[in-house]
Chain A
Amino acid sequence: MMTNSLTRTRAEKSPLIKVESRNELSFTFQIKGKAFQQGYLFLNPQMKELFPFNEDLCSVTFIDDDEVPHSAIYHKMRGYMVCLTFNEWWEKKKVCEGDTVSIELIDLAARTYRLKVLNGAMVKTTVPAGENVELRIASVSDTSISYNEHNLEVLRRMVKGEFSPFRETSLIQLGEELAAGICSEELLSLKTCFGVSTYFHQVQTARMVMDKLNGRALLADEVGLGKTIEAGLILKEYLLRGMARKVLILTPASLITQWQQELKTKFDLSFKNHLEINDWEDSDLVIASLDTAKSQKNQSTVQKIKYDLLIVDEAHKLKNRKTKNWKFVNSINTKYLLMLTATPIQNDMIELFNLISILKPGHLSTVQKFKDDFLAERDKRLPKNSTKLREMLADIMIRHRRADTLIKFPQRYVHTHAVDLNPDEAELYRELTDFIRKRYFTLPTHKNPRGINRLTLILLQKLMGSSTHALAKALDKMIASNFYKDDFDHSLKRLLDMARNVKHSKKGQVLMEIVRSLNEKVIIFTQFRGTQDYLVKMLEEDGYSVAVFNGQLSQVEKDRCIEDFRGSKQILVSTESGGEGRNLQFCKVLVNFDLPWNPMRIEQRIGRIHRLGQNEDVHIINLSARDTIESYVLELLDKKINLFRLIIGELEMILGNMHSKRTLEQIIIDIVTMSPNQDAMKRKFKTLGNKLEKALQTHNDITQAQEEIFNGE
């Protein structure tokens, strides 16, 4: 390129600049001619050393004596600067030709320099009263405006004559026009979410939070109205509009997977849990339990990060401001904050105050004033100025009731078939349960690691509850593995023989009778592949068209399976795996061939067909063998907490009222494995049933209280 040598010649010959002195950080020069006044500063080689930048064009900022910044572009190839406000500085400072000006480096990284006039205008210019010195370039006086560095690259190409084909240039334009057109008033998230039947109240909530509540709100819809969907819509909208990048979701540990699945399948958002990330700071979309986030290991890191959006599920866990939970969430730096709970008040109105204090401190004044203004003396759960309180809450809290939404919630009918096992099945059941109970007290140790571990024993018990086929398959594998030789080999082989000799499955026979009596689509759930294979074989032999859904299918196969079921196939036999978020609401009969001990899983099964979007009544058919653990669990869940009639989401709230660190499944496992005999087990199940009843009662009380506070009913 000829430019460098030519530029040097031009600059060296320049009559306009005469460097008077120079050191490492500054130089002074005498102004001659009109160039500077017209916005140009030509640099000679000495001066250029103070601008050691690599780019052909770059932005440089000069700060004058009055701390006013002047933006310039430095054209390295040609050795000059352009700044449209040099002349304003010239006039303001009353600079004359021949005056000496100094340029001093302030910050090389920020490319900032001090511009000073050294003589003549050393005296501060006085501005006549009433006359304002105005800088015309907004970015000079208005620091809120900034320019992309990329702009200079476009300019550089123009200056160098590096022209591109117009189709490329116009393609960029088309992209920007599309993006601008897309940023319409409509919610973008609605267009990109799947399997979500959004309702007016959900869209209204998303709009309200974004438009009126500045992105900080307590979402307190009644259970079953889809708070998670509302939060998902808001979250995705913020992400799509570029208003949020770093997002943290805090949820109870038991709900992490469910949240992850829902966000992935419905909103195409991949959130990582704490086990999947190496670094909290580098991960933009994180989901964690409150306990993990506030643990000693993570707490300070989380507090340091500036989040754009924080979502706290089951926010009633922050009801007490003296707890670590409250203090921790309150200390997280976030621009937008969504707190989700169906029960903002459980025992005391102060709980509501504490929740609001995280969202908008001071919105309900101080604790004392809140107590004086709103707390009824007779009952801590009731407000005395409810109308005023509701008005104040409208600025921060959104609550919909099922009755307000006019959504038709179809009926759920539950049919339980108590089955008497065939004699050979019953004997196998007894043998296996005894075996498990005995082995449980001789669990493997360091010295004897070849015993059957706890999980395997529990699995065997669950398999037996499902089907003898599933059990036989598992026993076969255990024996083949050679791991359980010695002590257990003989017992396992005996159990396997018994399982293989079972001629007919009673539950299987009952299932076939049920299926024959129905003339519509049916989903049959089982936990185990062994049972699934058995059921599919039995149904197909009877001439039914069956779709098979399990975790081993690829994404494409899963899609095809659901499509087949929607179309020609009458029966879907599914394991729990996958399927979350898939729309199966075209089916209204569900059979629980076996029963998971974890009630959340049962709720998820029901949720596949009975949730917002289902317009017809739903039938749930439970098969359970009498006097088995499954029958006790079923009784517990059905009779004590009405599990099969609960609204989706309600179960978590009821179980939360048990205040147990163990999950219900863990409690059941302990009962099963630690009971020395059948009677002891029954007694323990009864005690657990009483606890569940109490938890349900507490839940009902709380629900009633919410009604009184928020709706005055």
Chain B
Amino acid sequence: MVNKIKELVFSFMDMVGISRRECEPGIWAAKIPEAEQAFFNGFEVLKFTFDREQAELHRDLELICEGSFLLRKIIEKLAELPRVSRLFSLKAPAVPPQGSAHELRVVSDNVYYRPRVVFNFKVQFECDQRREKLYSVLADTASDILGVEDGLYNVDMSEFSETPQEGMKIGESNTDILRLYLQACQKLEESLASEVTELREWGDEQCSENLKVFEAYLDEQKHELLKKKENVSFHLYFFQKEEEIDRLIDNLEEERKRKLSELRDKFSVRVKIGLVNSVVLYTPTVGVASHKPRKTGDKKLMPAFASTSGFETRSAIQ
């Protein structure tokens, strides 16, 4: 874990242009550029360690470890960065999978890059307690198959390159990326449904149990007050007494409203889905992708997977 944390922190520092040196074994000093100082609690020079024992001995050191605030801040800051990458498989070209009904393919000697899209999701469940889970959805644009997996998609970089092989075209996709994303969300939600239901049932149960106790408590208090009100005529200043009891009953009702909303808020289920990042994986594929003929001349529409290297692709939307 420590090594992974170190890797993350150092990579983050490299990314934002922070230089550092190991001033003593296990203790680093990083010079924080002015633009980043607010993020690092105003430090010009941040001295930090990943070793708890060092931090115990030197209280001026920032300890970066599991659960430390700085690590959390770094992770949160990274999560705010929208990042999409594309990778090109180094594997030998393969025959494309069975396409969707409307897609025709001509097998030939040609080889092109067929895109698949990885959506990495983080799901936060909250209902009194809070937990997070990671999922990935791999969408194959050729077969229209979307599979949900636990955990983020692990790319084996020995099988991919960030640059395409020379001369190999990026195949056009017949898929609209927005639709693909919505479908991925749909798939993900389907896979979460039982967990959400279970959580909701637990929350409802807890809430209603608490409510039951609380309502009974308030009702009985109210009942006791009403009983007092019935006998108020025996009181010397019965008008005042009556008013006082009415006020107390009003207070109880106020408290009821407030506690109800407090309990509902505490036990309501909230599921937040965040797209961590996305990767387009291009696989060398044998053949030529051919699409249904278009009725209208909409060739100039912007493609979903626009090629930044100038390969011509066609519209994603039919």
Contact = CB atoms under 8 A, between A and B. Distances in A.
Specify whether A and B are partners: yes
A131 to B, nearest CB: 20
Nearest to B131: A183
Interface in A1-36: 2-3, 6-7, 9-10, 13, 15
A150 interface: yes
Given A73-B178, A169-B84, A169-B85, A174 B266 contact: no
A268 B68 CA distance: 9
Contacts of B21: none
B297 to A, nearest CB: 9
Contacts of A9: 300
Contacts of A415: none
B273 A146 contact: yes
A161 B85 contact: no
Given A139-B185, A368-B224, A559-B57, A178 B75 contact: yes
Interface string B193-224: 10010001000001000100111111011001
A163 B117 CA distance: 13
Contacts of A139: 185, 189
Contacts of B158: none
A362 interface: yes
A337 to B, nearest CB: 10
A57 interface: yes
Residue in B78, B80, B128, B306 with the greatest tally of chain A CB atoms within 10 Å: B78
Interface in B100-131: 117, 120, 122, 126, 128-131
B272 A146 contact: yes
B250 to A, nearest CB: 14
Contacts of A333: 258, 262
Interface in A146-173: 146-148, 150-151, 153-173
A521 B196 CA distance: 60
Contacts of B266: 214, 335
Contact of B75 (A82, A157, A175): A175
B265 interface: yes
A173 B152 contact: yes
Contacts of A148: 272-275
A29 B79 CA distance: 41
A712 interface: no
B189 A138 contact: yes
B57 A563 contact: yes
Residue in B57, B74, B185, B221 with the greatest tally of chain A CB atoms within 10 Å: B185
B302 A154 contact: no
Contact of A176 (B1, B68, B134): B134
Given A137-B189, A153-B82, A191-B66, A172 B276 contact: yes
Interface residues of A, number: 99
Nearest to A137: B186
A161 B182 contact: no
Given A138-B192, A362-B218, A556 B298 contact: no
A409 interface: no
Contact of B279 (A162, A169, A559): A169
Contacts of A181: 1
Contacts of B129: 210, 243
Nearest to A183: B132
A563 B57 CA distance: 7
B269 interface: yes
B189 to A, nearest CB: 4
A346 to B, nearest CB: 24
A75 interface: yes
A316 to B, nearest CB: 22
- Interface size on B, as a range, is 35 or more
Contacts of B68: 191-192
Given A163-B84, A166-B157, A158 B65 contact: no
Nearest to B212: A362
B83 A168 contact: yes
A188 B273 CA distance: 24
Contacts of B78: 171-172, 175
A10 B301 contact: yes
A147 B80 CA distance: 14
A215 B210 CA distance: 13
A242 interface: yes
B87 interface: yes
Given A168-B81, A361-B259, A180 B217 contact: no
B179 A84 contact: yes
A141 B220 CA distance: 38
A240 interface: yes
A362 B214 contact: yes
Contact of A155 (B128, B177, B272): B177
Given A164-B84, A559-B60, A154 B177 contact: no
B80 A150 contact: yes
Interface in B134-157: 134, 151-152, 155, 157
A192 B298 contact: no
Contact of B221 (A75, A82, A194, A366): A366
Contacts of A80: 317
B271 A146 contact: yes
A421 interface: no
Contact of A189 (B58, B67, B306): B67
A669 B126 CA distance: 54
Contacts of A398: none
A84 B186 contact: yes
A361 B79 contact: no
Contacts of B152: 173, 176-177
A188 B67 contact: yes
Contacts of B59: 194, 265, 555, 558-559
A555 B221 CA distance: 56
A159 B177 contact: yes
B40 interface: no
Given A171-B8, A191-B65, A166 B134 contact: no
Contacts of B122: 176, 180
Contact of A192 (B67, B82, B273, B276): B67
Nearest to A39: B179
Interface in B31-77: 52, 55-60, 63, 65-69, 71-72, 74-75
Given A161-B305, A243-B129, A559-B59, A155 B181 contact: yes
B128 A215 contact: yes
A78 B217 contact: no
B278 interface: yes
Contacts of B217: 357, 361-362, 365-366
A154 B276 CA distance: 8
Contacts of B300: 2, 6, 9-10
Interface in A73-125: 73, 75, 77-78, 80, 82-84
Given A145-B271, A164-B83, A180-B133, A188 B66 contact: yes
Nearest to A306: B265
A154 B279 CA distance: 10
A195 interface: yes
29 contacts: A83-B182, A138-B189, A139-B185, A144-B196, A145-B189, A146-B270, A146-B272, A148-B274, A154-B83, A155-B275, A158-B278, A159-B306, A161-B305, A163-B308, A164-B83, A171-B8, A174-B4, A174-B8, A176-B120, A178-B8, A192-B69, A214-B206, A334-B262, A335-B266, A362-B213, A362-B215, A555-B60, A556-B60, A563-B57
Given A142-B196, A177-B151, 18 more contacts: A39-B179, A136-B186, A138-B189, A138-B192, A147-B185, A163-B280, A166-B157, A169-B277, A171-B11, A174-B4, A174-B11, A183-B132, A191-B67, A240-B72, A265-B59, A357-B217, A361-B218, A365-B220
Interface of A: 2-3, 6-7, 9-10, 13, 15, 39-40, 57, 71, 73, 75, 77-78, 80, 82-84, 136-139, 142, 144-148, 150-151, 153-183, 188-189, 191-192, 194-195, 210, 214-215, 240-243, 265, 268, 306, 330-331, 333-335, 357, 360-363, 365-366, 368-369, 555-556, 558-559, 563, 583
Which 4 A-B pairs rank lowest in CB-CB distance, beginning with the nearest? A362-B217, A188-B67, A138-B189, A151-B275
